[in-house]
């Protein structure tokens, strides 16, 4: 087997034993990128030179046994909204074309000090706004399992890269399902940690109160290892929480007999693809057979309001977060403009794509004087109700299990002209972000046409340990992880 | 006039913290452009604010000094608008829940006391500064050194009824903020700024008139001039049956007029909402008590303490406490040489005269408290007379020499206190002026001064005047 096909966990063992070097591994991944990424389109920027230099120093670290971590020498790709000093970071937006941050995001500093090798920056929906990665200003990313289908979004580049083995692991960000939904579409593991678990410092904001960085990996164990490195309090992010970080990897194999699992009725309603439903219910059956207590009648009554609530709050925050892209300090500035106001207008009109503009307008409206109470404030109140729904359920359940997305990966162009249909593909992931909870998508099978489907597991705030434990146990029962698509090269 | 003037003031104080409100950059004034910046205060993508808790301390301090209630749950809000000096496209400020509410400040104008209500005090960040170079037309630069420097905005109730009251309020407020070490109070450099909301209404009218907001007044005098100009402008409009436009007007110092900046039709909708990057700041009793314990003494309390503890006159205490640094200077001298009355006299009569002539502040004075104390000790011991003391003082001041004893020695200014030497001198003078001695003894008592004067003249002012008096009296009864 080629090195790029191994899991992070297995590669760590091989590196530990000295059977392979980080440089060999990095070369293998870079070759894989050259071989398939013109077909997949997962990367916006590949930093081959930087990666090899980091791999060399990882090898030195391993030789000297100097602060070796499970990530030392592992090639990791980053969603292109995570700031990397000196390496172009665009958010897949024309307005940030050519922007090179002067600082590393906290997660990047942590990866670097763990010895990870950063391969490059991955495609996404512009500013993380979208569910198919079709909103990238630069390129499309194909689903490695079906090249005519989307990888999901907004972290479509991150999940396609892991599925296509153009990275061993990647980081994505999840604001309304942006890690879990594409992970489900691409047949990989994608996790959104509790809000506050991972520092947002250096994560280019879409919606500050919802955004969270998380791991995208081949297996649950890999996710546990990667989360262990990036999680933890950061004094540079006021919303990061000062709680101890458990050894997630060590607790993966804990027994789940007697564990209480809830299935929310509202997540199995109209619009749910029947194949998806069958796969998710059979996964629950396997968990029950393994000794978990499954309650199929729990209720999250405010679920119906989540999408509306989310699209008011997320767009309101985005309208303000994206105000800094004004052509004054960095990134794109329109040319031949007439004065300051015209410079602003032209820069933003030419620099942002349609979906971003649509959301800025929505959010600006929601915050406008006279509408604030009816929209923004009301949405905040709904958010509280949704959070309470979960609190009540978690009084009796240890985890909630549900589908990630009502459908498997859809075709390019299928929803791009119908924003509302696109928004609804996040209906089962959005409530988790509103409540700030940790959740994961684990592969739970394939449709008849060969498209992967993910199982969503949701846990209590900061119960990542339980979440990963249940996910790992299911992964052993289901056996759907580690499968690789056969990538047919596009005819040139 | 047919109208009642209604004035409310918004004061912005730049806080004397060492670092900015949401990052660790220096607040030092006068550094090279953009030297005091980082990803946070330049609004780089992904950078996040972290609150400097010292700013909260300072805001509580200002609130306690103005009898405000301290709001326990504080929320920072974003004020959204576009301008190149605002790196994030929004200013982090406070909106619905400011840190202090419902206080007051007492003022006095022409012996009439008045209480001015304070609506609120809130914390916020300053913006950067645009630089328009003269050498290149159509190009501007931005200096973000000031971006993210902490401010408090103090909003008064519309309680002032004349420009004199407004200025009294401002002076008082500035004194307090300087005393609290919250702000350096420098209006020219803009660390203490004021906007004025002015409206007129017919006497007895229950509702406020339409107001105009005045900006860009960088001295007390300009505040007074700008308000007077605005009152005149509005009353002209109203007299002619017109309607005042609600707008912001910029005061033009050179032309002595104000000009419209933007009208209501262009009024901003700032779309305030709670900043999701910052958690609410909860202020508990412990925090407030901690600030209260370390609260510096305010001018009024200091004034009263000076009168009681040092036994000086209220008018002297008023002068000495008018400036926090002057009060500190006074107390520093008292600490070394505990004769407060004499010290107060010397500061008020000599020291302030020199400082006023040179237009410099007490902090720039070349005579140290130690130096002044040493000089007063020499006078007290009788080594030199008060008159000579003034000469020595002038010498110390101009040469920045704080060793009065050395000055006295090297210049031979020490007082003649040798009874034998003085007696010889007196006897000679009395003998040479026998006629005048006779006049004196016949009842012309003012001749006594003549003899003393002669002795002082012959001794070049160094004779101990008290001894001279006694010795002459001994001789001629």
pLDDT for res A349:
98
Whether A331 is in a domain gets the answer: no
Q: What is the pLDDT of residues B359-374, one digit of tens each?
A: 998 988 999 999 999 9
Domain count, chain A: 1
Whether A38 is in a domain gets the answer: yes
Closest CA to A86 of A38, A47, A35, A112: A47
Q: What is the mean pLDDT of residues B327-353?
A: 94
* CATH numbers and ranges of domains, chain B: 3-287 (no CATH), 297-410 (no CATH), 419-476 (1.10.10.410)
Task: List per-residue pLDDT tens for chain A, 492 residues long.
Answer: 899 999 999 999 999 999 999 999 999 999 999 999 999 999 999 999 999 999 999 999 999 999 999 999 999 999 999 999 999 999 999 999 999 999 999 999 999 999 999 999 999 999 999 999 999 999 999 999 999 999 999 999 999 999 999 999 999 999 999 999 999 999 999 999 999 999 999 999 999 999 999 999 999 999 999 999 999 999 999 999 999 999 999 999 999 999 999 999 999 988 899 999 999 999 999 999 999 999 999 999 999 999 999 999 999 999 999 999 999 999 999 999 999 999 999 999 999 999 999 999 999 999 999 999 999 999 999 999 999 999 999 999 999 999 999 999 999 999 888 887 788 889 999 999 999 999 999 999 999 999 999 999 999 999 999 999 999 999 999 999 999 999 977 654
pLDDT for res B264:
47
Residue of A28, A154, A173, A441 marked active site = A154
Whether A492 is in a domain gets the answer: no
A155 catalytic? Reply is no
> Residue B214 in contact with residue B227, Cβ under 8 Å?
yes
* Degrees to nearest 5, angle at CA B197 with B196 and B199: 135
Whether A484 is in a domain gets the answer: no
A79 catalytic? Reply is yes
Q: Tokens 């060793």 sit at which residue?
A: B403
Q: Which residues of chain B are within 8 Å of residue A326 when distances are taken between CB atoms? A: 82, 84, 89
> Which of A135-139, B294-298, B329-333 has the weakest average pLDDT?
B294-298
CATH of the domain at A458: 3.90.1300.10
> Residue A461 in contact with residue A436, Cβ under 8 Å?
yes
Percent of all residues in chain B with a pLDDT value above 70, rounded to a whole number: 99
Q: Do A200 and B269 touch (CB under 8 A)?
A: no
Percent of all residues in chain B with a pLDDT value above 90, rounded to a whole number: 70
Q: Which member of A202, A329, A368 has the closest CB to residue B46?
A: A202
Q: Which residues of chain A are within 8 Å of residue B84 when distances are taken between CB atoms? A: 326, 328, 340
Q: What is the pLDDT of residues B244-275, one digit of tens each?
A: 999 899 999 999 999 998 654 456 799 999 99
Half-sphere exposure of A466 (CA within 13 A, CB side): 21
Q: How many CB atoms lie within 10 A of CB A145?
A: 25
Reported as type and span, the H/E element at residue A224 is helix A220-230
Select from B273, B281, B282 the residue whose CB has the most chain A CBs within 10 Å, as the one to mutate to test that interface: B273
How far apart are the CA of B35 and the nearest CA of chain A, in angstroms?
15
Whether A381 is in a domain gets the answer: no
Whether A285 is in a domain gets the answer: no
The per-residue b/e assignment along B447-465, b for 16 or more CB within 10 angstroms, e otherwise, is: beeebbebbbeebebbbbb
Helix (H, G, I), strand (E, B) or coil at A172: strand
pLDDT for res A356:
98
Top-confidence residue, B218 or A202: A202
Q: Which member of B39, B142, B278 has the closest CB to residue A103?
A: B39
Residue of A28, A132, A158, A178 marked active site = A178
Query: What's the rounded Cα separation, in Å, for the pair A123 and A80?
Result: 6
Whether A425 is in a domain gets the answer: no
- What is the domain range of residue A454? 3-255+439-478
Q: Do A320 and B45 touch (CB under 8 A)?
A: no
The per-residue b/e assignment along A181-216, b for 16 or more CB within 10 angstroms, e otherwise, is: bbbbbbbbbbbbbbbbbbbbbbbbbbbbbbbbbbbb
For residue B454, give both structure tokens: 């002669």
Q: Do A323 and B82 touch (CB under 8 A)?
A: yes
Is the pLDDT at B384 greater than 90? The verdict is: no
Whether A246 is in a domain gets the answer: yes
Q: What is the pLDDT of residues B400-444, one digit of tens each?
A: 999 998 998 888 788 777 778 888 888 888 888 888 888 888 888
């Amino acid at each position: 087997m080629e090195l790029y096909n191994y899991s992070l966990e297995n590669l760590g063992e091989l590196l530990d034993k000295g059977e392979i070097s980080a440089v060999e591994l990095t070369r293998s991944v870079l070759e894989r990128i050259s071989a398939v990424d013109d077909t997949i389109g997962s990367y916006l920027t590949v930093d081959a030179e930087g990666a090899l230099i980091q791999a060399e120093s990882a090898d030195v670290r391993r030789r000297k046994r100097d602060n070796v971590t499970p990530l030392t020498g592992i090639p990791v790709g980053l969603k292109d909204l995570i700031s990397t000093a000196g390496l172009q970071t665009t958010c897949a937006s024309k307005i940030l074309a050519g922007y090179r941050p002067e600082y590393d995001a906290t997660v990047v500093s942590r990866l670097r000090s763990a010895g990870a090798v950063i391969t490059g920056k991955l495609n996404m929906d512009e500013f993380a706004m979208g569910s198919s990665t079709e909103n990238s200003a630069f390129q499309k990313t194909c689903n490695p399992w079906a090249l005519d289908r989307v990888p999901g979004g907004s972290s479509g580049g991150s999940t396609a890269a892991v599925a296509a083995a153009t990275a061993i692991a990647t980081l994505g960000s999840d604001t309304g399902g942006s890690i879990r939904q594409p992970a489900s579409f691409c047949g990989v593991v994608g996790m959104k940690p509790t809000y506050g678990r991972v520092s947002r410092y250096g994560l280019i904001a879409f919606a500050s109160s919802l955004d969270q960085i998380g791991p995208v990996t081949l297996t649950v164990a890999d996710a546990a290892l990667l989360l262990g490195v990036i999680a933890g309090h950061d004094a540079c992010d006021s919303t990061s929480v000062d709680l101890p970080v458990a050894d997630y990897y060590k607790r993966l194999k804990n027994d789940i007999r007697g564990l209480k699992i809830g299935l929310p009725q509202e997540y199995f309603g109209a619009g749910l693809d029947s194949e998806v439903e069958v796969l998710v219910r059979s996964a629950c059956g396997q968990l029950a057979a393994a000794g978990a207590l499954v309650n199929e009648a729990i209720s999250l009554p405010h679920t119906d309001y989540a999408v509306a609530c989310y699209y008011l709050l997320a767009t309101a925050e985005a309208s303000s977060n994206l105000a800094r892209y004004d052509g004054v300090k960095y990134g794109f500035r329109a040319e031949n403009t007439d004065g300051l106001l015209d410079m602003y207008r032209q820069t933003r009109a030419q620099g942002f794509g349609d979906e971003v503009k649509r959301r800025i307008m929505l959010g600006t409206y929601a915050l406008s004087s006279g509408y604030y109470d009816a929209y923004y404030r009301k949405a905040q109140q709904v958010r509280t109700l949704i959070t309470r729904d979960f609190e009540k359920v978690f009084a009796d359940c240890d985890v909630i299990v549900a589908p990630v997305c009502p459908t498997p990966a859809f075709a390019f162009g299928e929803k791009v002209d119908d924003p509302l249909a696109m928004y609804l593909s996040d209906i089962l992931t959005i409530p988790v972000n509103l409540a700030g909870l940790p959740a994961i998508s684990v592969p739970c099978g394939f449709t008849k046409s060969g498209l992967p489907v993910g199982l969503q597991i949701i846990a209590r705030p900061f119960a990542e340990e339980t979440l990963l434990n249940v996910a790992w146990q299911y992964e052993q029962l289901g056996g759907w992880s580690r499968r690789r698509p056969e990538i047919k090269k596009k005819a040139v | 006039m047919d109208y009642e003037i209604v004035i409310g003031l918004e004061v912005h104080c730049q806080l004397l913290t060492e670092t900015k409100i949401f990052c660790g950059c220096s607040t030092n004034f006068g550094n090279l452009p953009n030297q005091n910046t980082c990803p946070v205060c330049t609004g780089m993508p992904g950078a996040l604010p972290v609150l400097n808790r010292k700013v909260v301390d300072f805001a509580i301090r200002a609130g306690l000094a103005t009898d405000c209630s301290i709001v326990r749950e504080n929320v920072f809000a974003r004020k959204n608008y576009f301008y190149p000096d605002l790196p994030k496209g929004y200013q982090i400020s406070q909106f619905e829940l400011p840190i202090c509410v419902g206080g007051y400040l007492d003022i006095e104008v022409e012996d009439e006391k008045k209480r001015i209500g304070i609506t609120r005090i809130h914390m916020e960040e300053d913006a950067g500064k645009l630089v328009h170079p003269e050498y290149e037309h159509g190009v501007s630069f931005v200096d973000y050194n000031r971006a993210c420097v902490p401010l408090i905005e103090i909003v008064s109730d519309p309680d002032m009824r004349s420009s004199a009251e407004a200025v009294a309020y401002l002076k008082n407020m500035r004194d307090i903020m300087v005393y609290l070490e919250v702000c350096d109070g420098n209006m020219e450099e803009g660390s203490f700024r004021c906007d004025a909301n002015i409206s007129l209404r017919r006497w007895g009218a229950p509702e406020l008139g339409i107001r105009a907001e005045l900006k860009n007044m960088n001295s007390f005098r300009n505040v007074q001039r700008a308000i007077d100009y605005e009152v005149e402008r509005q009353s002209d409009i109203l007299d002619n049956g017109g309607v005042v436009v609600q707008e912001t007007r910029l005061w033009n110092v050179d032309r002595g007029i104000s000009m419209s900046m933007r009208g209501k039709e262009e009024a901003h909708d700032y779309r305030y909402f709670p900043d999701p990057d910052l958690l609410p700041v909860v202020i508990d009793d412990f925090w407030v008590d901690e600030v209260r314990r370390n609260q510096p003494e305010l001018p009024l309390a200091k004034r009263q303490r000076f009168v009681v503890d040092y036994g000086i006159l209220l008018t002297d205490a008023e002068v000495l406490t008018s400036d926090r640094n002057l009060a500190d200077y006074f107390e520093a001298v008292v600490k070394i040489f505990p004769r407060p009355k004499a010290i107060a006299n010397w500061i008020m009569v000599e020291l302030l005269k020199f400082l006023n002539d040179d237009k410099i502040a007490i902090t720039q004075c070349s005579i140290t408290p130690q130096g002044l104390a040493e000089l007063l000790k020499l006078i007290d011991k009788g080594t030199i007379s008060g008159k000579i003391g003034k000469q020595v003082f002038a010498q110390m001041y101009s040469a920045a020499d704080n060793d009065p004893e050395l000055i006295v020695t090297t210049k031979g200014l020490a007082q003649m206190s040798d009874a034998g030497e003085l007696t010889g001198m007196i006897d000679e003078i009395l003998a040479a002026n026998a006629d005048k001695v006779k006049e004196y003894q016949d009842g012309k008592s003012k001749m006594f001064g003549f003899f003393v004067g002669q002795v002082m003249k012959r001794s070049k002012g160094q004779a101990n005047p008290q001894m001279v008096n006694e010795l002459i009296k001994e001789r001629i009864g």
